Every structure is written in C-alpha cells, then in structure tokens.
Structure 1
Amino acid sequence: MTVTNDPDELEAQFAQWRQYVRRRPELSESDADELEDHLRGSVDQLTALGLHSDEAFLVAVKRMGGLDELSREFAREHSERLWKQLVLTGDSGPRSRSRHDLVVMLVCAIGAAVSIKIPELFGHDVDFDEDGFYSLNYSLFALPWLAGFLLWRRRATRLVCAVVAALFLVGAAAANLYPVRTESQSIDVIASHLPIALWFVVGVAYVSDGLRSARRRMDFIRFTGEWFVYLTLIGLGGGVLIAFAVGAFNAIDIYIDDIVDEWLLPCGLVAGVVVAGWLVEAKQGVIENIAPVLTRLFTPLFTIGLLSFLVTIGWNGRRIDVNRGNLVIFDLLLVLVLGLLLYSMSARDPLAPAGRFDVMQLVLVAAALVMDALVLFTMTGRIAQYGSTPNNMTALGANIVLLVNLIWTAWLLLRFVRRRQPFAVIERWQTTYLPVYAGWMWIVVLILPPVFAFR
C-alpha cells in the first residue's frame, strides 16, 4: 500500500468519515463537530511524530473506537436529548429527516392497510379464506410497501427500484397464476416460502446503497432480527388493546367481533410490518439492539437442549420420525440456531479474541450439524422408500442448504477458537451465503410446483 501526505486526500478522508458519522440519528451537528475536532487533533499529533497523513488518519480512527461505542458515549452524556429523540419530540438537525421518514412510513402503512381490503371488491373474503387467496398473497400486501419505504429512505436508483418491483411481480404471478388447488401440497409450499423469498427482496431494497457490501448485508441481518422483535411487540400490544376494546364494548352490549376480524386484525398486521421497519430505522444506534442481547440468553439454553436431545437419541437408539409436523419443527430449530449465531455475530467486536461464548457457539453449531445429518439420513430413506412429494423435497433441499452452511461454519468457528484465523472470515461467510438461501426460496416457489404438476 502506498502512503501519501496529500492534504486534499486527507480532507477527502475526513469528509467521508463525517458523512458516515452523520448517518447516526443520535449525533447532532455539534456532536459531529466535536468528534471531528478530536479526530483532527489526534491526526495532527500522529503526523508530528512522523507518520504519513493517511497512516495517521487510520490510527486516529482506530483509537477513537467504533462509531457505535462513540454513539453510546454521546447518548449517556446527552441523556435528555436522547429521551426527547426516542419520543420524537426533537426539532433540530436530523429531526427534519425523521419527520419526513414518519410521513412516508404513514403513507406506506396506510397503503398496506388499504391494499389488503381491495380484493374484497372482487369476491375474496379476508375473514373466510376458502379459496386460499390470502394464504398465498398476504405477504404481497405488506412487504412491497416496506420495500418502498426503504427504497425511498436509501434514495435508491431507478434500476434498483425496477428490479425490486419486478421481483415482487414475479412473486405475485407465482401466487396467482399457478393452477394450484386448495388441497394440494403446492399451495402450502408456495404460501410458506413466498414470504421468505420476498423478504430477501426487501433485503435488496435495504442494501440498495451498498449492494456488494458485506457490511450492509450484515446490517440487513441485524435489521431482520430487530424488525421481528418490534413486530412481535406491536402485535402483543395490539392484541391487548383489542382485547380491552372488545371487553369494554361487550359491557355495553355492543359487539365488535366482525370489525376486529375483518378490519383491525388484517389491516393492523400489514401496517405493523411497515411500522416495525420504520422503528428499526429510526432507533438504530440509539439504544442497544434487542436481538443480539437475546442471543446471549438463549444460546446456552439451546445448546443444552440440543445436547440433551442427541444424548437421548444415543441412549435409546430410536430413529427420528420425519413426518411433516416433525420436519417443520426440526427446520425451525435449525433456523433458530442459525439466527442465534448470526445475531451474536452482529453485536460482536470482530477484533476481540475467542472466548467462552465462542466455544459455546461452536458446540451449538456442532450439535445442530449432527441433528441435521440425522434428519437428512432418515429423510432420504423415507423418500427412497415412499417416493418424493413437494413437501419432502422442499424439506430435503432446505436441510441440505442448512447443512452446507453449518459444516463450513463449524470449521471456521473451530479455526477461530484455535486462533488460526480472524473472526471476520466467519462473518464474511455468513453474509456471502445469504444469496444461497434466497435462491433456494425462489426455486421452491417458482420451480418445484410445476415440476410436481402442482399436486
């Protein structure tokens, strides 16, 4: 690497750093000025010691620590301003952008709520989904609006917007043009995998400001976990509110059950998807992320649970019954294990050495790997004996995709624990593997149903 003392290049580095700092909504303009003054003073001291300007800049940034750490420090020192921001009562600097985001979010949330009622004009009843229309299309009433909000917020190019819109149209075509019957397995396969495939389209909208960036893909993983937590909290709060409302109206002999079933629940769910996404965007970096914190609690519990399950299998010598219900449970368990791994990575300092928690994660991944291998062994035997169906082929492919990731993750974790490689290699592997998951979901939605003649 060449070094330089070009002042223009150094100023460009300061400008790039300041632009990155100003993305944090909790840091005001004056905070950014104070941070920049501190950084410039550190660079001046280092250059006085004989370092080249670009070397001094890198060392100074490193000494200041990660931006998240700085954000938390400023939040502690300016707690009054922080709490005002949390309740959206501020009126300076980046607050104007927050107000614009709020307006766009409300438009998208209302659009989602209105769009889910439009099919009723054409004979589809959201409360009695006898033809399976809403089972197939529910995600199409919410996720495009969330993607639209993210595209607006990222100032995405027209090409990215066109690609995102085209993918949603492909998903809508698969959901509505394939000749699937309500009693067929294909309708279940499409209904269960299309929302996940479309969520990866939301991911394209989220990373539209850095499509090739591994860091932005990891940011999307963080966003997914936080969005799920917020959506769950919104759902719990909304459920309590509806329960109180129904009880209060019942007390005066007015029954609003139909309004709840036909309006509040469907409209609230799709609008909540957009609101949860806006909350994650508005509050990122202001408070500690929730999902990574939960991983610290559940990783030991899942490790103990999986080890107990494997010990029980070895003790009793029983084979795993891979009926449809059990397959769903095992797949969800493997996804949860992967989620625990990803969200712990998202909150980890990549430069920190391996510790006990990393060893525990290695044990968890190894246990999940053994369980996945046992399920695959039993599943392939059943397919060879009874033949293939859309359900078991979907489960087989998902387990193979998970198995490949778990094998290489276990190997990378082992090397990291043994101090043979940096942690960044594991993080890069996980973000690089995301397109594989997305590709498999689209294969399930678009290819498997016609391969099995939509049965």
Structure 2
Amino acid sequence: MEISNLIIKNLANPHELERLFRKDPETFRKSFTQAWELNPGSQVLAIWFERLNFKESANTEKSSLFQKDFISMGILALLAGFVSRFIFQFAEQHAIAHLNLVFGILPFVAAYFVYNNFPRKNILYILIALFIISGIYLNTLPLVQNDSIVLAYIHLPIFLWVLVGLAFTGNDYRKGFARLAYLKFNGEFGILYAIMAISGGLLTALTMQLFRFVGMDIAEFYFKNVVLFGAAALAIVAAYLVSRNLKLAKNIAPYIAKIFSPLVLVTLVAYLVTVISVGKNPFMDRDFLLSFNGILLAVLAVTIFSITESGKDEKKNISDYLNFALIILALIIDSVALSAIVFRLSSYGITPNRIAVLGLNLLVWANLIWIMIAYMRFLQNKAGLSSIQDAVTKYLPIYGLWAAIVTFMFPLIF
C-alpha cells in the first residue's frame, strides 16, 4: 500500500502517523502532498502540513547578529579582556594580589545577566555594592601568605560565584527552579568553556611553533596579550552561548553526568580500599586529611552535577541508585574527616585552617544528610525528584554565607 493511502487510512491514529514519518521521513514528505490534496479539509493533515513546511521568518530576531544580547556580550567580552590585562599588569609587579583577576571576569558575567534579566533596583544595588566592597576589601589585605589570608583568597571566589548566581536568578533568586537553572548553567558553562579552551590551546601551540620556525620566541608576549585576554573574554562568550540554549553543551552534559557517576564511585571505592590496606591515617597525617576533604568536595560536586542534569523525569533509573551510593560514600568520608578534624583541634589547638575545614565539613555533612533523606524518600516513591533538587538548591546560600564569613571575618579574627 502506498504511504499516501496509509496516511489517509490512519488519520485517526496519531501514533501510527508518527511511526510512518520516523520510519522514512523523505518518503513520508513526498507522499504527504498527495494525501493533503485528497483531504484538504482534514485538521490532522493541516497540522502535519505546518509541521513539514514551517519556516522561520527571514528577519527573525534569532538570526540577527545585532540583537541586544549579542551586542552586550561583545562589549562585555572586550571589557573583561582589557580589564584582566590591566589587572595582570599590576599583579605581575606584586602591587596587588593575583586573585584580583577574578574581578576581570565575574563582574562582567554578572553584568551580562543583569543586562538581560532586568532585576529590581534593590538587587542591582546589592550586587554593585558587594562587588565593590569585595574588591576594596581584597586589596586592603596584606600581601602575606599566612593561613587566614590564604583562606580568604580561597573563599572569596566562592562568595563572588554566589553573587553571580544572584545576578543570574534576578528577581527569582528565592525560587528553587531559578537556583537549579544556575547550577545547570555552571555545568554546561564548564563543559563549553573547556571545549573552547582546548581549541584555544591548540591554536596557541600552533602559533608558538610557527614563530619558532622563524627564530622568534613570542611566548611571553602572546600569553600576556592574547591568552590572558582571550581567557577572560571567553568566559563571557561561553555564558552567552549557554544562555542562548546552545544544544552542544545541553546535549553533552547529561551523558557526562551519567558516565562520571559510576566511574567516580568505582574509583573512590578502590582508592579507599587501597588506603585502608596500606594503613593511612587521616587523624595523624595532615596531607592525607586534606586529600580526604578534596575527595569529599569532588564527590559532592559530581553528585550535584548529576542531580541537576536529571531533568524532570520522576522515574527511577540506575543513575539514581549510583548517586545514592555516592552520597553514602561521601557521608562516610565526611564523618571520618570530621572526627579527624575534631581530634586535631583537641590535640594541637585552634588554627584558622582547622576552624575553616571544620565549618566546611559540618556544612557539607548536613547537606549530604538532607540529600540522602530526600533520595531515600524518592527511591521509596514517597517523594518526587523535586525534593532532591530542593535539598541542593535551598542550601546554596549557606555555602555563600560561610564563604563570606571566612573571607571577611577570619583575617580580622586571626
């Protein structure tokens, strides 16, 4: 039977029409014309006609290179590059801390979101004030490498990352879906930035080699004036591409999450078994305790990334059980780390590093408990996936608050 006849025969069977189309789209398109001519009054065929023949307007905003957000992206990317190069000039002379380079990137990413989201004035004023205060505060700290200053350097970017999140979520900063979208943005941004950075690295290597062929070493000049500029500007470009729903990052991210979860689980189990067999002790070995905390944060990051890429599917799958196993493993690691930190505090006294690590581990432990309970309820069909996502998104401000405390209070206290 010709496909045109099959189309007419199955006008009341949408599933069969879809199957015919997917089986051979080109033949379906060709046969559809005949079916449409024989049944011009069919509403079903009218819908298929629009589906098969719909074309975007030639002057649509999507295809324009001069739309508002593209122009703002270009301007902000150039500003980020120039400001980063300007800051590096002073950082290279040890007049200011190299950490000031974050102010050549993050404020401009935040500005891109503000320009396109139009938040309320009070949110805008808070963002401007906190970025300015952070910049002034950073440059009032002495250029010495003691524990409290180093901790401030580590935690300040986390605090600024939360500020960028406020710019991203705008007026919806209290809502879970907006915070979840920001976490998803970070995962997709990281993937896209890494892909473009690798391409830029290959271009840099090729450029270096080409100039070496003619006896010129331009490495220092190229790094200062091209690589540094490009790395800063690329952050704005990546933010623009992800926010424009670039399918590359959005299609890759869920697969990376599904691949990395089992790999991380297997690797960590093997690592912990090896550690136990060789007799490593986090209670006495400071470096091993730090590696334990690094593992903990890595597991938390992978778990959160996997959760944010789960979408809205309420059906359980193998990834959910792997995530639950990762959370249990992270809780075990965190419990051991907490015990070791308390032991070192009672044995060796209070230091900024120990207090900072203790606070972070307590926050992570509480967050993991919340996520674990939500996951248990989800796996038992007592709650939906949204409860797990709430356990992640509602906790984000607490991490930002702790980062602010360590950044702004520790150098004063210690």
Question: What TM-score does the superposition give when structure 2 sets the normalisation length?
Answer: 0.80
Structure of greater Rg: 2
Cα separation, 2, equivalents of 1:157 and 1:78: 42
What are the Cα deviations for residues 338-377 of structure 1, in whole angstroms up to 9, with x where unaligned? 2222232223244523232211211111011101111121
**1:142/1:270 contact within 8 Å kept:** yes
Determine whether 1:169 maps to 2:143: no
Determine whether 1:158 maps to 2:121: yes
How many pairs were matched up?
A: 364
**Mapping of 1:182-261 within 5 angstroms?**
182-261=144-223
Say if 1:243 and 1:197 are closer, same or farther in 2 by CA, change over 3 A: same
What are the Cα deviations for residues 382-429 of structure 1, in whole angstroms up to 9, with x where unaligned? 222222222232222111111111122112212221222222211112
**1:322/1:375 contact within 8 Å kept:** no
Determine whether 1:358 maps to 2:326: no
Deviation of 1:106 after TM superposition, in Å, equals 1.1
Say if 1:171 and 1:325 are closer, same or farther in 2 by CA, change over 3 A: farther
Cα separation, 2, equivalents of 1:328 and 1:168: 30
Say if 1:80 and 1:382 are closer, same or farther in 2 by CA, change over 3 A: farther
Cα separation, 2, equivalents of 1:285 and 1:433: 29
Say if 1:349 and 1:114 are closer, same or farther in 2 by CA, change over 3 A: closer
The equivalent residue for 1:379 is 341
Amino acid at match of 1:150: F
**1:306/1:364 contact within 8 Å kept:** no
Say if 1:78 and 1:343 are closer, same or farther in 2 by CA, change over 3 A: farther
**Mapping of 1:3-402 within 5 angstroms?**
91-96=59-64, 99-119=67-87, 124-126=89-91, 128=92, 130=94, 133-178=96-141, 180-284=142-246, 288-315=250-277, 317-320=279-282, 325-402=287-364
**1:246/1:257 contact within 8 Å kept:** yes
**1:129/1:135 contact within 8 Å kept:** no
Per mean C-alpha deviation after superposition, the further-off stretch among 238-247 and 333-342 is 333-342
Percent of aligned positions that are identical: 26
Per mean C-alpha deviation after superposition, the further-off stretch among 372-381 and 146-155 is 372-381
Deviation of 1:214 after TM superposition, in Å, equals 0.7
Q: What's the secondary structure of 1:215's corresponding residue?
A: helix
Gapped runs of 5+ residues in structure 2?
1-50
Cα separation, 2, equivalents of 1:173 and 1:194: 12
Say if 1:351 and 1:136 are closer, same or farther in 2 by CA, change over 3 A: closer
The equivalent residue for 1:409 is 371
Question: What TM-score does the superposition give when structure 1 sets the normalisation length?
Answer: 0.73
Q: What's the secondary structure of 1:420's corresponding residue?
A: coil
Cα separation, 2, equivalents of 1:253 and 1:315: 54
**1:246/1:255 contact within 8 Å kept:** yes
Cα separation, 2, equivalents of 1:357 and 1:117: 43
Say if 1:287 and 1:98 are closer, same or farther in 2 by CA, change over 3 A: farther
The equivalent residue for 1:8 is none
**2:257/2:309 contact within 8 Å kept:** no
What are the Cα deviations for residues 183-215 of structure 1, in whole angstroms up to 9, with x where unaligned? 322332122211111011000000004122110
Q: What's the secondary structure of 1:396's corresponding residue?
A: helix
